[in-house]
Amino acid sequence: MQLILLSGGSGKRLWPLSNDARSKQFLPFLEREDGERESMLQRVVRQLDAAGLADNITIATNIAQKDIIVNQLGENVRVVTEPERRDTFPAIALAVSYLSIEKKCGDDEVVVIMPCDPYTESGYFEAVKDMVSVAQRNVAELVLMGITPTYPSEKFGYVVPESHDTSRKDYYRVERFTEKPDVRKAEELLAEGAFWNGGVFAFRIGYMMDIVRRYVRSDSFEDTRARYQEFPKISFDYEVAEKAASVAVVPFAGSWKDLGTWNALTDELKCNVIGNAVMGGHCRNTHIINELQYPIFADGLEDVVVAASPDGILVCGKEHTEHIKKSVENLTHRPMYEVRRWGTYRVLDDTVYPDGHHALTKSITLERGRNISYQIHHHRSETWTFVQGEGLFAFDGKVRRVTAGETVVIPVEHYHAIKAVTELTFIEVQTGHPLIEEDIERFEWQWPE
């Protein structure tokens, strides 16, 4: 059995803590039993491991999220990146092509597709095992998970079974799908025994590859990825689930939540204050999360979320947090904080001066033993001032040791890289035009032993 975790999303509903590169599934605010905090992604992978389902995980994502996935899960995780965002069908098609062509998985092997961020309990993963069993028995071309609804929601799609015969416990055949109805229609669907569509699917690899080949026929995964635009920009539900000749649904009646809004997330936080903040004694049902160095004090607030990060500051009544996504779409033109495979960076200043001169200043921290790739920039020069730790600095083929207090200058079109001997922090000042993350060309480099 193969498992594909879908990781996407723009991150706007949990602004300012999430952005295009650090969506909700990467926020490290969920508390484990040992008191340590973890992200939704880390929690799901830990639960999969406990259920014995973590041996063959592949994560399908966009290129902007690859580094943070590696940072949170380690270098050995399998990641398939889509060249551009094109919805869930092409993302799944690409990931299944990787398993079939690159990993040589057989056509009869069952694949489970699931989101990387459900907030759920162990029974959910037992239902995944049941889905695999139903798929292996050839009950239907496609098997999906149906979440037992707790209220008539407008946020989810619904799966209507042919009959709700409770004598059959492991699966039902599907009669039809209904996508995000209004409340009145949702109430009618619940009366019919409908399930929420949990976005979890199981099928045999050969079934999906037959669909893939309608758009792209290739014996090379690299060629399939290069022709990614030939896949239609459409959801998996519309392109596959609703067109399948036979569909079965495996029910799950346990606890399941989407922590994609501030209301839902704060309901699951065990602490009302995270980060550099103090709350007075006259606050009720208020949460503060502060990722800035500047302290926050709040008092006299009720049903409020206060969140601060380099991307911005949010102060919002909890009843209004559903509307954040549309309101903040144009507030920030770039992520001001990112987690990369080598560590983190924070933008300290981004200024275009009256004469057109552009300068961008970052604080960059590399974890011990990690390195930034050997690279050149075609449009910007950089000045690095090391403020903490020790590292190895490569410049035009030569390597030397650097420590706190030293400064190096990297002109345009010069090769450079840095590796942390200990945890290493430096201040980077970029000048040039345009100052964009994409101005980078990487090369192979072997660090000395």
pLDDT at residue 64, rounded to an integer = 86
The letter for the amino acid at 40 is M
pLDDT at residue 46, rounded to an integer = 97
pLDDT at residue 165, rounded to an integer = 56
pLDDT at residue 167, rounded to an integer = 54
Instruction: Please choose, from the candidates 107, 114, 133, 113, the residue with its C-alpha nearest in 3D space to the C-alpha of residue 204.
Output: 107
Q: Return d(Cα 418, Cα 439) in angstroms, integer.
A: 17
How far is residue 197 from each of residues 158, 181, 440, measured CA to CA in Å?
Answer: 5, 12, 41
**Chain centroid to CA 203: how far?**
23
pLDDT at residue 254, rounded to an integer = 92
The pLDDT-based confidence of 301 (bands split at 50, 70, 90) is very high
Task: Give the position of tokens 């990146």.
Answer: 81
Q: What is the CA radius of gyration of the chain?
A: 24
> pLDDT, tens digit, for every residue of 392-439?
999 999 999 999 999 999 999 999 999 999 999 999 999 998 898 889
The pLDDT-based confidence of 328 (bands split at 50, 70, 90) is confident
How many alpha carbons lie under 13 Å from residue 56 in its C-beta half-sphere?
A: 14
Instruction: Please choose, from the candidates 245, 203, 255, 256, the residue with its C-alpha nearest in 3D space to the C-alpha of residue 93.
Output: 203
Stretch 88-100: mean pLDDT: 97
CA angle 156, 159, 162 (to 5 degrees): 165
Partner residues linked to 338 by β-bridges? 345
**Cβ atoms within 10 A of the Cβ of 9, count?**
22
**Cβ atoms within 10 A of the Cβ of 294, count?**
9
299 burial class (0-12, 13-18, 19+ CB within 10 angstroms)? exposed
Q: Is the pLDDT of residue 76 over 70?
A: yes
Give the least confident one: 34-43, 321-330, 371-380, 419-428. Answer: 321-330
Under 8 Å CB-to-CB from 51, ≥6 apart: which residues?
Answer: 122, 125, 126, 128, 129
Of the chain, the end-to-end C-alpha distance in Å amounts to: 39
Q: Return d(Cα 441, Cα 343) in angstroms, integer.
A: 20
Instruction: Please choose, from the candidates 57, 29, 22, 64, the residue with its C-alpha nearest in 3D space to the C-alpha of residue 43.
Output: 29
Q: Return d(Cα 5, Cα 60) in angstroms, integer.
A: 6
The pLDDT-based confidence of 9 (bands split at 50, 70, 90) is confident
How many alpha carbons lie under 13 Å from residue 89 in its C-beta half-sphere?
A: 19
Helices (H), 272-411: 324-327
Looking at every residue in the chain, the average pLDDT score rounds to 93
What angle do the packed helices 88-97 and 205-212 form, to 10 degrees? 120
Cis preceding-peptide flag for 448 (omega within 30 of 0): no
Under 8 Å CB-to-CB from 57, ≥6 apart: which residues?
Answer: 3, 4, 5, 45, 48, 77, 78
Q: Is 178 helix (H, G, I), strand (E, B) or coil?
A: strand
> pLDDT, tens digit, for every residue of 331-386?
767 788 999 999 999 999 999 999 888 999 999 999 999 999 999 999 999 999 99
Tell me phi and psi for residue 185, to 5 degrees: -65, -35
Q: Return d(Cα 77, Cα 75) in angstroms, integer.
A: 6
How many alpha carbons lie under 13 Å from residue 293 in its C-beta half-sphere?
A: 3
Give the least confident one: 16-20, 43-47, 222-226. Answer: 16-20
